Copies of this chain bind each other. A is one copy, B any other.
Amino acid sequence: MRGMGLNVGIYGGSGYAGSELVRLLSGHPEVGGMSVASRGYAGQAVAEVYPHLAVEEVYVEPGRVDASSLDVAFVAYPHMESAGVVRDLLEAGTRLVVDLSADFRLKEVALYNEWYGEHPVPELLEEAHYGLPEVFGASGGRLVANPGCYPTAAVLALAPVVKRLRVSSVSINALSGVSGAGAKPSTKTHFVSANENVSPYGLTDGSPRHRHTPEIEAVLRQVAGEARVPEVTFIPHLLPISRGELETIFVELEDPGELPETREVLDWYAEDYEGWAFVEAQREAPQISHVVNTNRARLSAAVDRRAGKLVLFAALDNLLKGASGAAVQNMNLALGYPEDAGLEYLK
């Protein structure tokens, strides 16, 4: 298939991120062939499992995909399972791997080991590019670690601030649609449990302990330096919506006298994200409905001068800019296409 467009493979194609990749890549102008692998659904048509996807593809066993023929592989497996598959793909000669798991997002193996368990393939950590292009640019290598959905929103909102101000406290209140909890049925994701409800989660033994916390801290420290980013309090909540994410971020400064005007913060966003198609700041606080079914992240800010605090807002679609849309954007940039190739209608 090479020569007539990219030959792409999707591993974990039956989850929500995987099925969204199928949708995006089946309409991508540069994609020539697509293999969709699933361990649980091999042999079934994708359109049978996800009838809203009007595609012809049939799920295949992961082992049946010829990795050496793939231009790009997207891996949407759980953490700890993804790393080995990524290594095997690279060894087999896949040109570019975009990993949607958490396995290659943290540079420090010790940090990974603390929050996830012993890293299966630490030797690839160094080479992975953290795929938040609006902050870290395009990948020049063969492995992209696609960011977590919550860190995407948090880092886009916070990076321009921590670069400019000495921040002493960050508390993130995060809200996510149920697709963020994955496709596997459980009591938590049962309609009757989630509907007309909001539930805080990510707490262990009475303490916040969601794994996106160290990712947010580590990435912001890469941006601003170790000393300028305090430990982050991160409290996610499950919302009765299918997709979409909103973070409301409370920030305090080392020097309250440095508290900026709302206008200034919006200017920083405009400056830092100029030229990027999918990130935009606005005066009004963003709503989830403004970004759902798009690859956009929308940011805003409010200054609470009474209380001496800065409040930041970030909204995105957790399956698009928070996962599969960003993965395609990363592929586009790594291969030299416009960042919005195949994503034009999601701007």
Please determine whether B345 and A27 come into contact, CB atoms closer than 8 angstroms.
Answer: yes
**Interface centre among A203, A232, A262, A347, by most B CB within 10 Å?**
A203
- Of chain B, the residue at the smallest CB distance from A196 is B241
In whole Å, how far is A85's beta carbon from the nearest beta carbon of chain B? Answer: 25
Q: Chain B residues with Cβ under 8 A from A282's Cβ?
A: 51
Structural contact, A240 and B241, CB atoms closer than 8 A = yes
Q: Most B CB atoms within 10 A — which of A235, A243, A284? A: A235
Contacting residues, chain B, for A191 (C-beta < 8 A) = 178, 189-191, 193-195, 240, 242
Interface size class of A (residues with CB under 8 A): 35 or more
The smallest C-beta distance from A282 to any residue of chain B, in angstroms, reads 8
A178 lies within 8 A of B195 (CB): yes
CB within 8 Å of B: which A178-228 residues: 178-179, 183, 185-187, 189-201, 203, 205-208
Tallying the copies of this chain within the complex gives 4
How far is B345's CA from A250's CA once the two chains are assembled, in angstroms?
39
Residue numbers in B under 8 Å from A179 (CB-CB): 192
A38, CB-defined interface residue at 8 Å: no
- CB contacts (< 8 Å) of A231 on chain B: these are 304, 306-308
Question: Which A residues form the contact surface with B (CB < 8 A)?
Answer: 16, 27, 51-52, 54, 169-171, 173, 175, 178-179, 183, 185-187, 189-201, 203, 205-208, 230-233, 235, 237, 239-244, 246, 248, 250, 252, 261-263, 280, 282-285, 287-294, 296, 301-309, 311, 313, 344-345, 347
